[in-house]
Amino acid sequence: MGINPDAKPDVLLQYGILGSVYAKYVLGIEKPVVGLLNIGEEESKGSAAVKAAYELLRESSEVNFRGNIEGHDLFSGEMTDVIVCDGFVGNIVLKWQRNFT
C-alpha cells in the first residue's frame, strides 16, 4: 500500500517494484502478480496519475503486472499478490480491512 497520499506515477511504479520484491523474498512467492487499484478494470479509467502509472507498470520488466483491479477484488485472494495504490486509498483499505477480518 502506498505511503504518499499524492503519489506520482513513477512512485506508484516504485511501490509495485517494492511490493514485488517483498512478496518474492519475504512471502516466498516466486513471481508475484501486481495489480493497480482503480475505479475500473479498463486501462482508460482513473485519474491522470493512475492512467500514467498503468502505462509504467505495463511497460516495466521489474513487475508481473496484471492490470487494474477494483475494490471488490481486494480480499478475494484470486487477483493479485501485490496491490498498488496511493497512501490515501491504502489507508482507507487497511482500516476497512482491519474491521472486517
pLDDT digits (tens, 9 = 90+) for 5-37: 889 999 999 999 999 999 999 999 999 999 999
Give the distance between the most distant pair of CA atoms in the chain.
36
Q: Give the residue ranges of DSSP H helices in the chain.
A: 9-25, 48-59, 87-100
Confidence of residue 99 (pLDDT cuts 50, 70, 90): low
All cell numbers assigned to 19: 511490493
> C-alpha cell of 56?
509504467
pTM: 0.88
Residue with cell 481486494: 74
Count the Cβ atoms, other than its own, within 10 Å of residue 24: 16
Confidence of residue 88 (pLDDT cuts 50, 70, 90): confident
